[in-house]
Structure 1
Amino acid sequence: MELGRVGIWNRVVAEGRPDSAEAAAELEELGYGAVWIGGSPPVSMAENVLAATERIVVGTSILNIWQHEPADVAAQSQAANEKYNDRFVLGLGASHGPAVANYAKPLSKMREFLAGLEAAGHPREKRVLAALGPKMLELSATEAAGAVPYLTTPEHTARARDILGAGPLLVPELKVALTNDPAEGREIAREHLSIYLKLPNYVNNLRTLGFDEADLTDGGSDRFVNGTVAIGDENVVDEWVQRHLDAGADHVAIQVLNDPLPRAEWRALAGLTEGRP
């Protein structure tokens, strides 16, 4: 997949509204390599972005495997790629215990879902997995095209690359608060991060990256916020992107936190598609 240096992680851009379609088309014109649709989107949400664009790659990040049948997803994915010039990539994830009834053994559930995709003829090179821990990362390398880790650090990117090896795709998500006021940036970041500190999968992974209990309670410490969110201007964000690329990422999915549909910020960050001096 030709993804370029950076893409955009967002959900509102795929909601099918007129302003969402306009924003999707503008992202393509700005030179971003991909749109990664946040939350737990069905394939139909990706089609909203595909229909509004001509060249950009569109992926789910992520489709919740507890909410769909693999044969249906395989058929929908094939139809999207046939209709939109092979630009759709299926991002899959096992979600979280607090969000799913009867949640158990996410790795086993993912293997089961992937087996269903295989049986339905879905190509491995057109799917990626939301992977944080070693076993899910290993599965991303053997049963998918790679991994799309969420809420991580460049250190995790380096760890993931070691596990994946040289070939598979690695696309970390990077949270951004575009502001020159550090206090404002941390406020924006904390409002966004609070929900993730209630989800064990993220908290457990963050602990392996050196964050302790004091970092991960009461909205998160400054150390945690500054270690997971790029707060600053375009040059600061570019430095973060480059750190992930130097650690082994192939492409970085930027999630701007300033606004649900942050078109002004996307314009300001468009230079990141080529890198800044």
Structure 2
Amino acid sequence: MNVGHVGIWSVELRLGDPGEISERAAELDELGWGALWIPGLGGGDVLGDSERLLKATRRLTVATGILSIWRHDAEEIAAGHHQLQQAYGGRLLTGLGVSDPAAAEQAGRPFRPVADMNAYLDRLDHSATPLPARERVLAALGPKLLDLAAQRTAGAHTFLVTPESTADTRRTLGPAATLAPYQAVVLDPDAATARATARSFLSPFIGMAHYARSLRRQGFTEADLAGGGSDRLIDSVVAWGDIEAIGRRVRAHHDAGADHVALHVITTDGAFPRTQWRELAPLAH
């Protein structure tokens, strides 16, 4: 599936005012972005929210980044995915994740990430309208889930990773699988305010065990994880500065083996970052 070289990852495109979501999506399509990624969050009507974006656009791919297998029935996702593919020209990419032990516990299940994802993929494969492997990706950080992504899906959507980690992931996935890292960005050339914005967003994730493990695998220490993240950690997983600085980070991921980079513009007000999306648009080409 063609997702282009660079896309937009946005909470606002899922939780914002529906009318403004449609307007902003249409503009992003015209600006040339390859894909629009929306988060799975706590569940809800992610297929309906995906359809809103598909309806508002003509060309780009809409991707879920990431839908939790604990909050969505596999057969319903497969059926809904099929319907949207038929209606909108095959422009939906379904991203799937195993979340964390707490999500499994809420579903009344033990947490066995690889086995759980394998079973979910089996259900997608054996649904009345199967969800094809080429139209799904996994949220994968550890080597076992990355292997599964390469074997049973189009590839991987990685979160809070450095370009060096992207290079390692490419070696694990092999040359054929799609690799689409998430990249947080702050369009602010002032180091103090940019890091403060980034830290306020990242702090909750750094405190989650599975993301902390991933960051340790990337070479960060307990000191880097403390206090909302050291400057070294912030600078490594968030691209901040002007458009040239953001562009360098995007190129670093591509040089490391990424096929696509999903840019998440971090702001402090929760509004649609329309100005930033427009400023970053040259990176889409």
Give TM class, smaller chain: over 0.9
2:64 is matched with 60
CA distance in 1, matches of 2:275, 2:101: 36
2:114 is matched with 107
CA distance in 2, matches of 1:204, 1:39: 21
Following TM superposition, by how much is the alpha carbon of 1:39 offset from its aligned partner in structure 2, in angstroms? Answer: 3.6
CA distance in 2, matches of 1:9, 1:99: 23
CA distance in 2, matches of 1:103, 1:68: 17
Following TM superposition, by how much is the alpha carbon of 1:267 offset from its aligned partner in structure 2, in angstroms? Answer: 0.3
Following TM superposition, by how much is the alpha carbon of 1:218 offset from its aligned partner in structure 2, in angstroms? Answer: 1.1
Letter in 1 for 2:119: E
SS in 2 for 1:122: coil
Which runs of no fewer than 5 residues in structure 1 stay unpaired?
Answer: none
> Are residues 1:160 and 2:169 paired?
yes
Following TM superposition, by how much is the alpha carbon of 1:99 offset from its aligned partner in structure 2, in angstroms? Answer: 4.5
Following TM superposition, by how much is the alpha carbon of 1:11 offset from its aligned partner in structure 2, in angstroms? Answer: 2.2
Following TM superposition, by how much is the alpha carbon of 1:103 offset from its aligned partner in structure 2, in angstroms? Answer: 5.1
Letter in 2 for 1:4: G
TM-superposition CA deviations, 1:237-267 (whole Å, max 9, x none)? 0000000000000010000002532111000
> Are residues 1:92 and 2:96 paired?
yes
Letter in 2 for 1:111: N
> Are residues 1:262 and 2:273 paired?
yes
CA distance in 2, matches of 1:89, 1:7: 13
Number of corresponding residues: 274
Following TM superposition, by how much is the alpha carbon of 1:67 offset from its aligned partner in structure 2, in angstroms? Answer: 0.7
Given that residues 14 and 21 in structure 1 are in contact (C-alpha distance below 8 angstroms), is that contact kept between their aligned partners in structure 2?
no
Q: Give the fraction of aligned pairs with identical amino acids, expressed as a percent.
A: 43
1:3 is matched with 3
User: Please, what TM-score do these two structures have when normalized by structure 1?
Assistant: 0.96
Given that residues 8 and 37 in structure 2 are in contact (C-alpha distance below 8 angstroms), is that contact kept between their aligned partners in structure 1?
yes
1:150 is matched with 159
1:34 is matched with 35
Following TM superposition, by how much is the alpha carbon of 1:50 offset from its aligned partner in structure 2, in angstroms? Answer: 0.5
- 1:178-189 paired onto structure 2 within 5 Å: 178-189=187-198
> Which residue, 252, 257, 260 being the options, matches 1:243?
252
Runs of 4+ in 1 over 3 A off after TM superposition: none
1:51 is matched with 55
CA distance in 1, matches of 2:110, 2:26: 38
Given that residues 14 and 39 in structure 2 are in contact (C-alpha distance below 8 angstroms), is that contact kept between their aligned partners in structure 1?
no
Following TM superposition, by how much is the alpha carbon of 1:17 offset from its aligned partner in structure 2, in angstroms? Answer: 1.2
1:78 is matched with 82
